[in-house]
A and B are shown apart, each in its own frame.
Chain A
Amino acid sequence: MKIKDKVLPPVVLTIICIVISALVIGVHKLTYVDSTGVLTDKLKSGYKDIFGKDSSCIMLTEDNEGVTEVVTYNEAITSILVDKENNTCAFEFIADGYQKEGIHLLVGIDEKGEIQGISFIEVGETKGIGTKIQENSFVKKFLNITTANEADKIDDITGATYSSKGMKDAVKLAVSTYTENKEAIFSE
């Protein structure tokens, strides 16, 4: 009995860990869909909300050594959608509001460099408070601003400081990245 009760516990615990981690990794393998660099239809419909029905866009990618990589110039941006004909583009963000990765939004910038519109793909903020950032009374303030400190002057929604701060940071980043590498985006 002595050796058995010395050896058995670690063996049982190890077996359980192996089985559980194998199960979870298996489930992860089945369910994980790698959506980076794929122009999902949600993004397309978001783009259309901003730039009107007939606009179409492609995702800005470049392929180095055969692997097509999403060009983002800043790792906080998830991807950039570009419409070469009428020189418009949109920046996709997954921003942290009150919840981690709570706000998934697209910031559209037209050919004059002003913000044409903002469309929300997914908002996980607390209902009734955080979700107020979607109301166009708040979004309207962001329209046709061109520089980062203009976005800074917009005051937050009372009670939803985290959510509005998250959104404002995203807009500021979009505008500043746009001004810096405007040519590169529309070049090739």
Chain B
Amino acid sequence: MDYILPVLVFATIGAVAGILLTVVSKIFEVKTDERLEMLQETLPNINCGACGYSGCGDYAQAVLGGEDCNLCKPGGENVVKKLSSIMDVEEKKSEIVKAFVKCGGDCNVTAKKYVYKGIQSCRASNQFYSGSKVCTNGCLGFGDCVNVCPEGAICIDNEIAVINPIKCVGCGLCVKTCPNNLIVIRPEHQNVEVVCSSTDIGKVTRAICRNGCIGCKMCERKCPVNAIKVENNFAIIDYSKCTNCGECVEACKFGVIKKSSI
């Protein structure tokens, strides 16, 4: 029976390997709290940074260390519920936030300075006399935000970025990518917004874009809680005071202030 010996030799190799592995993994075991893996699984892992940490991994560590569980904006309700159930901490309400674009200058209301044939990206076209549109701080329309959005909630339609409120999870990646900082993250229920951020004086804005805010201060006078003020030629709403009454929407003759439906 000369083949019993090789089988025995192989059995010993297997045994030695098994014992070695278990012993080594016992000695060199890195103590990881298994809740960490569960936390990491529940988080959406798009590393958007909306929770203020550099990525989902770091946020999971922080939650393990006691951070509260409702900072993950993209995750929304169920992530908050799961996180707090894992950490068995009572669940805090997390307000839903959405992204809004503060520019209304699409291709039928504003003109182009030149035809841009370079690399199709907002940041690149912004280097050449700040974009191909006549309005220098309007939406450049090349879709950097579209590339970055993990949920695919933004699309470019007639050369302006439009955000689909249902798909948007409020992660804030588009805010960082927009070279003209036109996108703002705001709680969902405050849906009155000034759809322009042009710093040119009234006469110039009037000439280049029909949807532009000329800084006529009509809305400032009409607002019951004077939550709206014109600063460097365009109106800005202070959302801590704003009560969503919509007075300013009617006051604005050019329809620059809009109330978006939820």
Contact = CB atoms under 8 A, between A and B. Distances in A.
A17 B3 contact: no
A18 B3 contact: no
A17 B21 contact: no
A52 interface: no
Interface residues of B, number: 14
B245 interface: no
Contacts of B14: 10, 13-18
Contacts of A6: 22, 26
A129 B7 CA distance: 42
B11 interface: yes
Contacts of A11: 18
A184 B31 CA distance: 75
B3 A14 contact: no
Contacts of B13: 17
B19 interface: yes
Given A10-B19, A11-B18, A21 B10 contact: yes
A17 B3 CA distance: 14
Question: Main secondary structure on chain A at its contact with chain B?
Answer: helix
B15 A21 contact: no
Question: Main secondary structure on chain B at its contact with chain A?
Answer: helix
Given A9-B21, A13-B15, 13 more contacts: A10-B14, A10-B22, A13-B14, A13-B21, A14-B11, A14-B15, A16-B14, A17-B13, A17-B14, A18-B14, A21-B6, A21-B10, A22-B7
A98 B14 CA distance: 35
Interface string B7-43: 1001101110111011000100000000000000000
B206 to A, nearest CB: 76
Nearest to B17: A13
B21 to A, nearest CB: 6
B6 A12 contact: no
A29 interface: yes
Minimum-distance CB pairs A-B, first 8: A10-B18, A17-B14, A13-B18, A21-B10, A14-B14, A14-B15, A25-B3, A10-B19
B2 to A, nearest CB: 10
A21 B22 CA distance: 22
A21 B5 CA distance: 11
Nearest to B11: A18
Contact of B10 (A9, A10, A18, A29): A18
